[in-house]
């Protein structure tokens, strides 16, 4: 490649917890083995193209602030291709094994679909070269079905059938490109699949259209032999008042209702969980219990701001809870820890991109190690096991096996007279136990 975009920055290495070097990992040691796998294999870190390479630092009150010397600010193809080289220099120096993109992050929109597709092909060529040069892989691709004005009323749920058709054509192309780049997955985030007012909305029809759209995608995926995993990314609102994929449970219900459950897993994002009034651990648990835990968009919100601030995750409690649940369900297969996060508008220098990702990677490495230590200690799991032990034998086992109904249970209780006493839930004890490991 031509001249480096980050000439002062060398490859970020693991230096251990005592290091005071801000450009080193204190906890993320890619080759260190935890529970039989390396950290690199467990965490499968991924950098997002949109925030990291296209984020300009705009907010509803102000213009962009980001200093990006390699970017000439135009929508030219040349600029887009140069940006790819920079992105791969960044990811290589960061030791990030994966990345994720929207079609429109990487290549500019043309004056019609044909020209737009041509632009995408021209950038994909460079992406492919850089993937081969660095060994960095695509975690997932996705189509941006929300930014262009044509998607004002949604994409697959638009009242305008032509917009549905355009979205279908766009996803078709994006699937082909993701396939060509060897993507491990493909994400559907319904940015504007929802409503702003029910006065103008035929919800039933819109949901049926969304399902139809996803079935078409499944069919096309099979047709081209794309083996990657499909995911739905839940989010309750923003930009719309209500989005149909509002949380993990709503997504699962939708997938089951429309016969899509076998074809899509969930890509869960912390800040979206918060907006839905849940914790990330709750969302992971809902997905995990349904066999649909796919991948995560790692970020965090601000307790005092009620919107999707997409901050880099630094809370060790958060990453510990996430990794406890991920490990409980067997770890990532096709998914990974994708930093769908952006540096603050006030953090406008290129080096801030490194600080942000290093912090997130270290926070997850700590979460992984702490979660593994809690699992090795075994007291937490043992407590939960004990708490449900009344189901392991006697009447509990009979209920679970389906051997008894209301009549048998009435006879059992009439004979016994009163239920066995309850034991304490010991929340405070368990919170203290977790703190032993933090
Ligand atoms: C927006 C979403 C988006 C998806 C990909 O809030 O998180 O970035 O991850 O379309
Ligand atoms: Ni996301
Ligand atoms: Ni988001």
Q: Is residue 3 very low, low, confident or very high in pLDDT (cuts 50, 70, 90)?
A: low
Tell me the sheet residues that pair with 295: 267
Per-residue model confidence (pLDDT) at position 317: 98
| Tens digit of each residue's pLDDT (9 = 90 or more) over 205-264 | 999 999 999 999 999 999 999 999 999 999 999 999 999 999 999 999 999 999 999 999
Q: What is the mean pLDDT of the chain?
A: 98
Range in 77-86, 117-126, 299-308 with the lowest mean pLDDT: 299-308
Ligand number nearest to the C-alpha of 271: 3
State the Rg of the chain over Cα: 24
Three-state SS letters, 278-309: CCHHHHHHHHHHCCCEEEEECCECECCECCCC
Tell me the average pLDDT across 41-68: 98
Tell me the average pLDDT across 283-309: 95
Q: Is 2 a residue whose pLDDT tops 70? A: no
Percent of the chain with pLDDT over 90: 98
Per-residue model confidence (pLDDT) at position 4: 85
What share of residues in the chain are helix, strand, coil (percent, to 5)?
50, 15, 40
Answer for the pair 127, 106: CB distance below 8 angstroms, yes or no: yes
| Tens digit of each residue's pLDDT (9 = 90 or more) over 331-387 | 999 999 999 999 999 999 999 999 999 999 999 999 999 999 999 999 999 999 999
| In the block, residue with structure tokens 């984020």 | 55
Tell me the average pLDDT across 46-75: 97
Percent of the chain with pLDDT over 70: 99
- List the residue whose alpha carbon is closest to atom 7 of ligand 1: 340
Q: Is 307 a residue whose pLDDT tops 90? A: no
**Catalytic residue (one of 42, 51, 103, 105):** 105
User: Pseudo-torsion of CA 204, 210, 211, 217, nearest 10°?
Assistant: 170
Is residue 215 annotated as a catalytic residue, yes or no?
no
Per-residue model confidence (pLDDT) at position 1: 46
Per-residue model confidence (pLDDT) at position 273: 98
The CA-based angle 320-321-322, given to 5 degrees, is 90
Tokens coding 407: 């009549």
Q: Ligand 2 centre and the CA of 99: distance in Å?
A: 13
- The dihedrals phi and psi of 337, each to the nearest 5 degrees, come to -95, 100
pTM (two decimals): 0.97
End-to-end CA distance of the chain: 43
> b/e string for 360-382 if b means 16 or more Cβ within 10 A?
bbbbbbbbbbbbbebeeeeebee
Is residue 102 annotated as a catalytic residue, yes or no?
yes
Quote the CA–CA distance of 204 and 208 in Å, as a whole number: 6
Per-residue model confidence (pLDDT) at position 306: 82
Closest to 229 measured CA to CA, from 204, 264, 256, 205:
264
Closest to 146 measured CA to CA, from 78, 215, 108, 192:
192
Tell me the average pLDDT across 9-35: 98
Per-residue model confidence (pLDDT) at position 303: 87
The residue whose CB lies within 8 Å of the most ligand 1 atoms, and thus the one to mutate among 49, 103, 141, 235, is: 235
Report the half-sphere exposure of 235 (CA within 13 A, side-chain side). 26
């Amino acid at each position: 490649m031509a001249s480096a975009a980050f000439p002062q920055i060398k490859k970020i290495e693991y230096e251990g917890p005592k290091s005071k070097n801000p450009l080193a990992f204190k906890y993320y040691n890619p080759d260190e083995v935890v529970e039989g796998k390396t950290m690199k294999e467990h965490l499968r870190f991924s950098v997002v193209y949109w925030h990291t390479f296209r984020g300009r630092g705009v907010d509803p009150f102000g213009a962009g602030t980001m200093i990006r010397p390699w970017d000439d600010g135009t929508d030219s193809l040349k600029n887009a291709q140069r940006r790819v080289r920079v992105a791969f220099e960044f990811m290589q120096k960061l030791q990030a094994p994966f990345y994720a993109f929207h079609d429109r992050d990487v290549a500019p929109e043309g004056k019609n679909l044909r020209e737009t597709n041509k632009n995408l092909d021209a950038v994909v060529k460079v992406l492919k070269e850089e993937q081969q040069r660095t060994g960095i892989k695509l975690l997932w691709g996705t189509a941006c079905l929300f930014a262009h004005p044509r998607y004002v009323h949604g994409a697959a749920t638009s009242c305008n059938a032509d917009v549905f058709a355009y979205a279908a054509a766009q996803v078709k192309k994006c699937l082909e490109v993701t396939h060509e780049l060897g993507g491990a997955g493909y994400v559907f985030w319904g940015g504007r699949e929802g409503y702003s007012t029910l006065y103008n909305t035929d919800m039933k029809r819109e949901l049926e259209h969304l399902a139809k759209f996803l079935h078409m995608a499944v069919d096309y995926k099979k047709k081209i032999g794309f083996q990657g995993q499909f995911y739905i990314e839940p989010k309750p609102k923003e930009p719309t008042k209500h989005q149909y994929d509002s949380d993990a449970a709503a997504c699962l219900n939708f997938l089951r209702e429309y016969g899509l459950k076998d074809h899509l897993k969930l890509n869960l994002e912390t800040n979206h969980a918060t907006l839905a009034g849940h914790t990330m651990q709750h969302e992971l648990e809902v997905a995990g219990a349904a066999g649909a835990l796919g991948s995560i968009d790692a970020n965090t919100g601000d307790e005092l701001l009620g919107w999707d601030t997409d901050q880099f995750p630094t809370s060790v409690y958060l990453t510990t809870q996430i990794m406890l649940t991920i490990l409980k369900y067997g770890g990532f297969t096709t998914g990974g820890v994708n930093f769908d996060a952006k540096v603050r508008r006030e953090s406008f220098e290129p080096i801030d991109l490194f600080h942000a990702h290093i912090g997130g990677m270290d926070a997850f490495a700590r979460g992984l190690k702490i979660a593994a230590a809690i699992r090795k200690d075994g007291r937490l799991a043992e407590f939960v096991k004990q708490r449900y032990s009344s189901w392991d034998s006697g009447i509990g086992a009979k209920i679970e096996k389906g051997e008894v109904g209301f009549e048998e249970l009435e006879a059992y209780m009439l004979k016994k007279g009163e239920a066995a006493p309850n034991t304490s839930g010991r929340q405070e004890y368990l919170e203290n136990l977790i703190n032993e490991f933090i």
